[in-house]
Structure formats: structure tokens, C-alpha cells
Amino acid sequence: IGLGCMSMSSGSYNPPRSAKEMVPVIRGAIDRGVTFFDTAEVYGPFTNELIVGEALKPVRDQVVLASKLGFKFDNGQRAGRDSRPVAIRKAVEGMLKRLQTDRIDLLYLHRVDPNVPVEDVAGTMGELIKEGKARHFGLSEVSPTTLRKAHKEYPVTAVQSEYSIMERSVENQVLDTCKALGVGFVPWGSVCRGFLADKFNEYSRFSDDSRFASVPYFTPEAIKTNLVILDQIRVWSDERGITPAQFSIAWLLAQHPFIVPIPGTTKLHHLDEDLGALSVTFSASELAHFRTVIENIELAGFRAKDAALTDK
């Protein structure tokens, strides 16, 4: 299990936190044996990489650092996608400075740019790897077709996309393609933005400016419908003496050996809970039973549009 650092500064779902607050959390994760950390230039933007860079500097050679690029910015605000080779190279220089490192271990294209062939992106990433500025090439939220095109140009190490008990669209060919190509899979949203961690109830409401308000899963009507799956996970968790979050992460880990979840948190006690999933195992018959029940539960809404695949 890695640590997703987005929530530490982006303010997407919670108020942004300071480096003074978050550096100890990241270092606490290291003390607990976590060695894989995920950030991106767009988180903040830029501030997340500054926090992660400061936290990891003393142990840089002992951890795997992943970051993502592919957006352009105007006055510090995201202003569309830009994956041109010149833009990628410019982004990497800024990332290296903010992260206080000479290389990024896993460098992802954050979202596909419809104006730039993914083969061009792969070629540029390959050049950066040869130059020592990156070690591995990753993609985020891509279709099987795009993954194959990129992998043919330069080997893809990992794909990062949303995947949880609630959001399983990657099971439609993406995971099979990763398996066929020998590509790792890094799911974000392991507990569906806290829903599967028992964070919400039927009375949960969000202000219009909250990121939660933009997720169709979290309208008042959808929450009421979707609590059915959470209720079932509570039952399974209680039977095993674990929490719903631990069950949800353990379920992901049990799907394929090449899956490495990166649940995010700003609190060490939540990290301890997440890491507890590593001790949970399920038998083949249990997994088959879970699958049958889950697939017969009808959910309401869908994930945020910004996260959706852009290349079918």
C-alpha cells in the first residue's frame, strides 16, 4: 500500500493543510514502512509537490516517488491539458525543483491530451528516462487502446485510475490489458472518497463549492440508494472484526497481484487503519460470494466527470 498525498494540500475534498501539519504525517508513514508516495503538479497546484519533496528529502533514496503532469496553468489555475513534448519537459524541470530531487521514479501522464498523440508522449517520457530525470513511465485514466499504443512506443510501468468496490469500470478491459502487458495498476479512490470508510450517512449534505457536490454518487438521493452497498460491507467487516475501509482496501488487493492501492489521508490513525488491510485475507469462495452480492446491488449516480475516461 502506498500513500496518496493529494488531500494534504489540494483542498479538493477537505481544507488544504500546511507543510508543518503534513510533513510529519508523511514521515510517520515512512516510519510505518510505507515506501510509495503519490503526488502531482496539479495538486494545489504545485504546493503538494513542495510538501512531499520536503518530507521525503532525508530518505529520498529509500522511497519510490510518483508524480503526474499534463496540464497547463494560467495564474496558478489549471487551464486545460498540454502534453506537447516541450510542455512535458518544462513541467518536469519545475517538478524536480519542487520535489527537491534529481529524478522522479514514476512519472505519469495525468490525463490524455486529445491534441497530442500518446505515442509522442511515450517517446518524450522515454527520452526523459534515458536522461535520468525519470525512471518509469505511467499513464492515468486511459483506455485499453491508448495503453497499448503508448506501451508499443515505450514500456508503460503502471496505470493509475479510479477503482473501488463501488467504481469498477476498469474491470471492463483495462485491468485485463494491464495483465496482458505486464503493467502494474495503482487504484485511486480505494474507499470512494470516504464513502466506503463509513464517512457519510443519509443525512450527509455538501455545500455547492464542495468537490463532493460535483460527484453524482453523493447527491442526497444517490447516497440513500448507495448506502445499501455500505450496509453490506459493514456486515462483512463486522463478521471479520475489521473496518469497512480495511475491507474495501483488502478487497482491492485481492483482485490482482499487480495492484497497489494508494489511499489518501491527513491523519496517522487513518493510515494505521488503512495499513491494517494488509493483514486481511479472503478465500476464493469468499471473493466469489462478495462478487455475486456486489454485482447485484444497483448503485445510483456515477463518478465525477473530470475523472472520466477521455479516450474510448
- Which residues participate in catalysis according to the annotation? 43
- Look-up: residue for cell 498523440? 117
Burial profile 258-272: b = 16 or more Cβ within 10 angstroms, e = fewer: ebbbbbbbbeeebbe
Helix or strand (DSSP H, E) at 184: strand 184-188
Task: State the Cα–Cα distance between residues 83 and 72, nearest whole angstrom.
Answer: 9
C-alpha cell at 74: 494560467
Start-end of H helices in 154-283: 174-181, 220-240, 244-255, 268-275
CB proximity list for 283: less than 8 A, separation 6 or greater: none
Residues facing residue 264 across a β-bridge: 4
Residues facing residue 278 across a β-bridge: none
Question: How far is residue 112 CA from its own chain's centroid?
Answer: 16
Contact (CB, 8 A) for 70 and 114:
no
Contact (CB, 8 A) for 123 and 91:
no
Helix or strand (DSSP H, E) at 36: strand 36-38
